[in-house]
Amino acid sequence: MEKLNDWLLFEASNQIKKWRQQFNRPFYVSVNISAKQLHLPYLAESIQSTMEFVSLPTQALKVEITEDHFLGENSHIKNNLDLLKALGVDIYIDDFGMGYSALNYLQRLPLSSLKIDRSFVKELGEEKSLVEGIIGMAQPLKLQVIAEGIETEAQLKGLRALGCDYGQGHFFAKPMDATNMTKWLEEHL
C-alpha cells in the first residue's frame, strides 16, 4: 500500500489494540480501501504484516469498499478480496445502493456486510421500502446489515423493526479523536 495508507492502518490498529487492552473488549478497526489499492498484488500481504507488527489479529480489521470497485470483471480485485477473507478480514460494501447495480457480485465475492447509505436512512419515515429490500436481500446471503447516518431514535427503532443488524451515526456519538473517544468509552462502557 502507499506509505500514507500504511501509516493510517498502523495508527488505527495501534489505537484499537490500546482500547482492547484498556477496556478488555473486542474492538475492531474499519478502513476504506480505494480502487487503486484493490489492484495492488501485495495488498493482503501488506495488511497482514501491519497487523502482525501491531500484534493485532487480522480478524480485528474490517475493510470497506464501495460498489463502483466492481465495475467489470477484475481478477485482481477478486483475488485480493479472497486473500483478505482467508486472513479473517471482514469485507463490507460501503454506501450500498448508491453505485453499481449488477448485484451478482453479492454472491461471487467473499463479503461480510452491506452498509446502507445514509440517504436511505434519512428518508426512512414514509419511504422504507428500499431499506426493507436491502435488508431482505442481505439476510438469505448471510450478510450483516449496517445502517449509516442514524441521527434519531425513531430511525433506530425503524431500522431495528426492519431487522437491521447494526447502526452508526450521530445518534450514538459524533466523530472524535482518540483522546475524546477514550473518554467516551470510559463513560459508556
Per-residue pLDDT tens over the stretch 175-186: 999 999 999 999
- Report percent pLDDT > 70 for the chain: 91
Please tell me the predicted confidence (pLDDT) of residue 114: 92
Cα separation, 82 vs 89, in Å, equals 10
In degrees, to the nearest 5, what angle opens at C-alpha 19 toward C-alphas 16 and 22?
A: 155
The mean pLDDT value of the chain amounts to 88
Is-contact 159 122, C-beta < 8 A?
no
Q: 5-14, 20-29, 86-95, 149-158 — which is least confidently predicted?
A: 5-14
- State how beta strands 29-32 and 113-116 pair: unpaired
The radius of gyration computed from the CA coordinates of the chain, to the nearest angstrom, equals 17
CA–CA gap between residue 49 and residue 136 (Å, rounded): 37
Q: Assess whether pLDDT exceeds 50 at residue 1.
A: no
Under 8 Å CB-to-CB from 91, ≥6 apart: which residues? 62, 63, 65, 81, 84, 85, 109, 110, 111, 112, 113
pLDDT of residue 54: 93
pLDDT digits (tens, 9 = 90+) for 7-43: 888 999 999 999 999 999 999 989 988 888 888 888 8
Beta bridge partners of 62: 30, 90
Sequence-distant (≥ 6) Cβ neighbours of residue 64 within 8 angstroms: 30, 31, 32, 33, 92, 93, 94, 115
